[in-house]
C-alpha cells in the first residue's frame, strides 16, 4: 500500500473563491460546524446552507478556500456580521480554519491576506474579527486589538485592520 504523503510533500495550494469550491461545501461546513457551529447551537445543515449562500459569486460577502490536488486544506470567510453584540461593526474576517495536518505551512496567513484583499476590492476601509486565543497570530499580521470582550462563551479579543488602499480600488 502506498503511504499517504506527509504534509511537507503536499503540493502548494491554490487559493480560490468559495464559489469555485462549491463541490467541497459539505466538507468545509463540517469543519466549521465541528469547530464552532455546534457549540453555538446550529445544525450542520444550517452551517451548510449559510456557506452555500456565501458561495454565490460577486457578492459583498465571500470566502477563500485553499485547495491542494483538488482537496480543501483551509477556508476563511468575509461576512457582514459575525458577532451579535457588535452589529454596528462590519464586515468581518470569520471562520478561518486550516486542517490540522496542513498547519504551520503558511496557509492560514495566506488565507488572511486573501480575505483582506477581497475586502480591499470591495472598498472596505476597516475589517474586524474576534478570537478567543489567536490574538498573537493576527497581531503579527498587522491586526490591532480594539477591546477585550466578555462573551457568554468566554473572553475574546476584538481586533481590526485598516486596509490601506481600500479607497483607491475600483468596483
Ligand atoms: C489559526 C490557524 C488558522 C493557523 O493556520 P496555519 O495554516 O497554521 O497558519 P500559518 O502557517 O500561516 O501560521 C502559523 C505559524 O506557522 C509559522 N509558519 C508559517 N509558514 C511556515 C512554514 N512554511 N513553515 C513553518 N512554519 C511556518 C508562522 O510563523 C506562524 O507562526 P506565528 O503564529 O508565530 O506567526 C490554524 O491553527 C487553525 O485552523 N486553528 C483552529 C481554528 C482557529 O483557531 N482559527 C482561528 C479562529 S480566530
Query: What are the per-10-residue average pLDDT scores of the chain (171 residues)?
Result: 52 93 97 95 96 87 96 97 96 98 97 97 97 98 97 95 73 38
- What pLDDT sits at residue 167? 62
Residue of 34, 104, 136 to test ligand 1 pocket, by largest number of atoms within 8 Å of CB: 104
Nearest-atom index, ligand 1, CA of 76: 3
Q: Is the CB of 132 under 6 A from ligand 1?
A: no
Q: Give the whole-angstrom CA distance, residue 22 versus residue 52.
A: 8
Q: Is the CB of 97 under 6 A from ligand 1?
A: yes
Contact 65, 75 (CB under 8 A): yes
Q: Is the CB of 96 under 6 A from ligand 1?
A: yes
Q: Give the whole-angstrom CA distance, residue 100 versus residue 87.
A: 31
Contact 137, 106 (CB under 8 A): no
Tell me the domains of the chain and their CATH numbers: 12-123 (3.40.630.30)
Q: Is the CB of 103 under 6 A from ligand 1?
A: yes
Q: Is the CB of 150 under 6 A from ligand 1?
A: no
- Cβ neighbours around 111 below 10 Å, total: 26
Q: Is the CB of 151 under 6 A from ligand 1?
A: no
Overall residue count recorded for the chain in this entry: 171
From atom 10 of ligand 1, which residue's Cα is the shortest distance away? 106
Q: Is the CB of 107 under 6 A from ligand 1?
A: yes
- What pLDDT sits at residue 169? 47
- What pLDDT sits at residue 56? 87
Quote the pTM value.
0.91
DSSP string, 129-150: EEESS-HHHHHTTT-EEEEEEE
- Alpha carbon of 113 to ligand 1 centroid (Å): 13
Amino acid at each position: 500500500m502506498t503511504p499517504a504523503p506527509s504534509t511537507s510533500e503536499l503540493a502548494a495550494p491554490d487559493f480560490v473563491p468559495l464559489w469555485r469550491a462549491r463541490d467541497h461545501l459539505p466538507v468545509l461546513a463540517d469543519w466549521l460546524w465541528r469547530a464552532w457551529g455546534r457549540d453555538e447551537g446550529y445544525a450542520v445543515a444550517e452551517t451548510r446552507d449559510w456557506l452555500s449562500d456565501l458561495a454565490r459569486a460577486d457578492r459583498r460577502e465571500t470566502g477563500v478556500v485553499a485547495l491542494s490536488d483538488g482537496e480543501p486544506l483551509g477556508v476563511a470567510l468575509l461576512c457582514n456580521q459575525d458577532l451579535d453584540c457588535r452589529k454596528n461593526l462590519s464586515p468581518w474576517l470569520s471562520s478561518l480554519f486550516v486542517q490540522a495536518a496542513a498547519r504551520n505551512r503558511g496557509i492560514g496567513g495566506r488565507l488572511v491576506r486573501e480575505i483582506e484583499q477581497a475586502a480591499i476590492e470591495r472598498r472596505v476601509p476597516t475589517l474586524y474579527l474576534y478570537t478567543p486565543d489567536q490574538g498573537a497570530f493576527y497581531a503579527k499580521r498587522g491586526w490591532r486589538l480594539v477591546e477585550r470582550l466578555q462573551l457568554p462563551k468566554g473572553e475574546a479579543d476584538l481586533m481590526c485592520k485598516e486596509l490601506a488602499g481600500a479607497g483607491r480600488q475600483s468596483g
